[in-house]
């Protein structure tokens, strides 16, 4: 494994998960954080996600031999489900505990953190100024060999390539939340990414138990959100204009396509705040009388009532009673 020493810049929700996924498979991981305050916020996240990963491994024992097991097992934690036994899971748990204890480090000094990095994964807030600031601070500290990946969900690598000092070694590797279960890695270079570096990113994603999904060119929203956002918008427009109710729209999609969840079940998982934020980014959201404007108001009403999705117990559906 060439990319063995991993530095994660940013110890937020995704940064923590990415770092732990790398440690889980035995890579050496250093979280570079900017302040003592960040350490105070990141350490509990590390503990929480270690706990969740170990808990999901344990729960997977009960899935062995069940028809649903093959669909819902934690795919980032178990590579070969078919041959998995209770004993395999016990040894994965022991190995994970050891790896988390031995391979996870935190460093505030950027120069020390990156001194021998094979790869730096930038997973900082979706704030271009902050990302540029860190790329510029890092560019002269990185060894020649270091590859640089960004996990940005909405920004393109070409926006930042010139600030990195190594545009040919820079690309996006975009992970999904709860990486140990939803193990996709969308890999997207910019025009100046070296094809060999792109291949290394694909191999790296595979090594950390992700399914690499290769994009041939830059695309805002990558593959998933390029499909999901218009799909969910179309469903919400049908609801906002009262063409049909939520359960009828979901039922239509589920019965006609065989998909396990219709758009409103997906929206409840994504969260209505995210749906609202996406709605508000559209210029028509400010145009009184437009469908987008009406939808924004309807989503806001639900958010104000605390009906923000599965995590809140209620969204488009009620999850409080089982």
Ligand X SMILES: NC(=O)c1ccc[n+]([C@@H]2O[C@H](COP(=O)([O-])OP(=O)(O)OC[C@H]3O[C@@H](n4cnc5c(N)ncnc54)[C@H](O)[C@@H]3O)[C@@H](O)[C@H]2O)c1
CA–CA separation, 72 and 92 (whole Å): 18
Binding part of the chain for ligand X, among 9-17, 50-58, 194-202, 230-238 by CB under 6 A, reads 9-17
CA distance 42 to 35: 11
| Binding of ligand X by 215 (CB under 6 A) | no
Would you give the DSSP letter of residue 169?
G
| Of the candidate residues 130, 213, 228, 285, the single one contacting ligand X (CB under 6 A) | 130
Least distance (Å) between residue 220 CB and ligand X: 12
Does 308 sit near ligand X (CB under 6 A)?
no
In the bound state, the residue with its beta carbon closest to ligand X is: 12
CA angle 283, 270, 291 (to 5 degrees): 30
Q: Binding ligand X by CB under 6 A: which of 55, 109, 126, 284? A: 126
Phi first, then psi: what are they for 148, rounded to 5°?
-130, 120
Over the window 150 to 169, marking each residue x when it contacts ligand X by CB under 6 A and - when it does not, the resulting string is -xxx----------------
Q: Residue 109 burial by CB count (10 A; 0-12/13-18/19+): exposed, middle or buried?
A: exposed
Q: Which x/- pattern, by CB under 6 A, does the window 56-95 give for ligand X?
A: ----------------------------------------
Residue of the chain from 53, 110, 124, 238 that contacts ligand X (CB under 6 A):
124
Torsion angle defined by CA atoms of residues 214, 220, 226 and 231, in that order, rounded to the nearest 10 degrees: 160
Interacting residue with ligand X among 30, 84, 123, 279 (CB under 6 A): 123
* Beta carbon of residue 121, minimum distance to ligand X (angstroms, whole number): 10
Residue 34 makes contact with ligand X by CB under 6 A = yes
The reply to whether 13 sits near ligand X by the rule CB under 6 A is yes
The answer to whether the CB of 147 falls within 8 A of the CB of 169 is yes
What the block records as the tokens of 202 is: 């694909």
- Taking a C-beta distance cutoff of 8 angstroms, is the pair 33, 39 a contact? yes
CA 11/CA 306 separation, integer angstroms: 28
Does residue number 46 form part of the binding site for ligand X (CB under 6 A)? no
> At closest approach, how far in Å is the CB of 10 from ligand X?
4
Closest separation between CB of residue 16 and ligand X, Å?
7
CA distance 48 to 186: 25
Q: Does 212 bind ligand X (CB under 6 A)?
A: no
Binding span for ligand X by CB under 6 A among 46-54, 59-67, 174-182, 244-252: 174-182
Does 146 bind ligand X (CB under 6 A)? Our answer is no
Q: Should residue 19 be labelled a site residue for ligand X when binding is judged by CB under 6 A?
A: no
**Binding of ligand X by 277 (CB under 6 A):** no
Q: Does 31 bind ligand X (CB under 6 A)?
A: no
Q: Using alpha carbons, list the distances in angstroms from residue 53 to 105, 156, 318.
A: 18, 30, 27
For residues 55-89, one letter each, b for 16 or more C-beta atoms within 10 angstroms of the residue's C-beta and e for the rest, the string is ebbeebeebeeeeeeeeebbbbbbeebeebeeebb
Backbone phi, psi, residue 258, to 5°: 80, 5
4, 12, 105, 168: which one binds ligand X (CB under 6 A): 12
The footprint of ligand X (CB under 6 A) covers 10-15, 34, 38, 123-126, 130, 133-134, 151-153, 174-175, 177
């Amino acid at each position: 494994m060439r990319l063995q020493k991993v530095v994660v810049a940013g110890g937020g929700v995704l940064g923590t998960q990415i770092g732990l996924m790398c440690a889980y498979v035995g890579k050496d991981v250093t979280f570079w954080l900017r302040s003592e305050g960040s350490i105070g916020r990141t350490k509990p996240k590390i503990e929480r996600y270690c706990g969740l990963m170990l808990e999901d491994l344990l729960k997977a024992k009960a899935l062995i031999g069940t028809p649903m097991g093959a669909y819902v097992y934690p795919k980032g934690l178990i590579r070969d489900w078919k041959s998995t036994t209770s004993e395999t899971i016990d040894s994965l748990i022991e190995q994970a505990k050891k790896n988390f204890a031995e391979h996870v480090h935190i460093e505030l000094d950027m120069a020390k953190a990156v001194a021998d990095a094979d790869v730096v994964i930038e997973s900082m807030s979706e704030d271009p100024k902050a990302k540029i600031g860190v790329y510029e601070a890092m560019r002269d500290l990185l060894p020649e060999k270091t590859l640089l990946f960004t996990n940005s969900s909405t920004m393109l690598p070409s926006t930042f390539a010139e600030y990195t000092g190594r545009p040919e070694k820079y690309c996006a590797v975009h992970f999904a939340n709860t990486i140990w279960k939803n193990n996709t890695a969308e890999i997207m270079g910019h025009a100046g990414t070296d094809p060999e570096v792109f291949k290394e990113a694909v191999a790296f994603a595979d090594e950390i138990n992700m399914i690499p999904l290769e994009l041939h060119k830059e695309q805002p929203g990558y593959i998933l959100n390029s499909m999901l956002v218009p799909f969910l918008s179309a469903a919400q427009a049908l609801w906002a204009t009262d063409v049909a109710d939520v359960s009828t729209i979901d039922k239509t999609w589920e019965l006609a396509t065989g998909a396990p969840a219709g758009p409103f079940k997906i929206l409840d998982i994504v969260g209505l705040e995210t749906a609202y934020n996406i709605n508000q980014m559209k210029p028509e959201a400010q145009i009184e009388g437009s469908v987008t404007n009406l939808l924004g108001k309807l989503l806001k009403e639900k958010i104000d009532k605390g009906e923000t999705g599965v995590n809140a117990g209620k969204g488009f559906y009620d999850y409080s009673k089982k």
